[in-house]
Chains A and B, each alone.
Chain A
Amino acid sequence: AQSVSQHNHHVILSEAASLELGCNYSYGGTVNLFWYVQYPGQHLQLLLKYFSGDPLVKGIKGFEAEFIKSKFSFNLRKPSVQWSDTAEYFCAVRTGFQKLVFGTGTRLLVSP
């Protein structure tokens, strides 16, 4: 069965700091990769996704993620975080018609 690991459970940054959240998955075949975000009091929403092609994908609000197949990783990055990026971030993986499997999430707190 697929599994997704997010090693950072809580991250605290100051505004303008750079962000990188780790995500590793266990499946060795073709995968579809997602990052979802949940802002305080809001619904889970899609931040970005990767299916194929350029392994560097760009999402909303200046976020990007890089798919590294050899490392089974799909890390999320942002060069300069803002206070409004405070949220919980979930990495998720899906293979074909299999269920979407989420990681445990990373809570990001950005201090002004």
Chain B
Amino acid sequence: EAGVAQSPRYKIIEKRQSVAFWCNPISGHATLYWYQQILGQGPKLLIQFQNNGVVDDSQLPKDRFSAERLKGVDSTLKIQPAKLEDSAVYLCASSLELDRGKEEQYFGPGTRLTVT
């Protein structure tokens, strides 16, 4: 079974530039998550989709971050404009469906973003 795919794996941009990350979840997984992991910290949820609807985006900085999941499969996360503090690893995860918090999340390899 193929895992969660993410691209690119690494990205270096200058502040105020824009960047986009792509995620392809495990086939059949209805729920998709984007996490931000800053060095020395645990992953922090940015946004959660159930099919193509947003379940939770309470921690997404909406003035600069946006995400979409068209057709309930692939997803893109965009930052525009980037700030230095956005340097982090962006993780995508997916799970079969919401099950009262018991569902196992499967993580992709992440995209390491460096903003200079």
Q: How many residues of A contact B (CB 8 A)?
A: 22
Least distance between A84 CB and chain B CB atoms (Å): 20
Chain B 92-116, CB within 8 Å of chain A: the 1/0 string?
Answer: 0100001011101111111000000
Q: Are B101 and A43 in contact (CB under 8 A)?
A: no
Q: Which residues of A contact B106 (CB under 8 A)?
A: 45
Least distance between A29 CB and chain B CB atoms (Å): 11
Chain B 79-103, CB within 8 Å of chain A: the 1/0 string?
Answer: 0000000000001010000101110
Partner of A97, one of B100, B104, B105, B107: B100
Chain A 1-43, CB within 8 Å of chain B: the 1/0 string?
Answer: 0001000000000000000000000000000100010000001
Q: Are A103 and B101 in contact (CB under 8 A)?
A: no
A-B residue pairs, 7 tightest by C-beta:
A102-B42, A94-B101, A44-B107, A99-B45, A32-B101, A43-B107, A102-B43
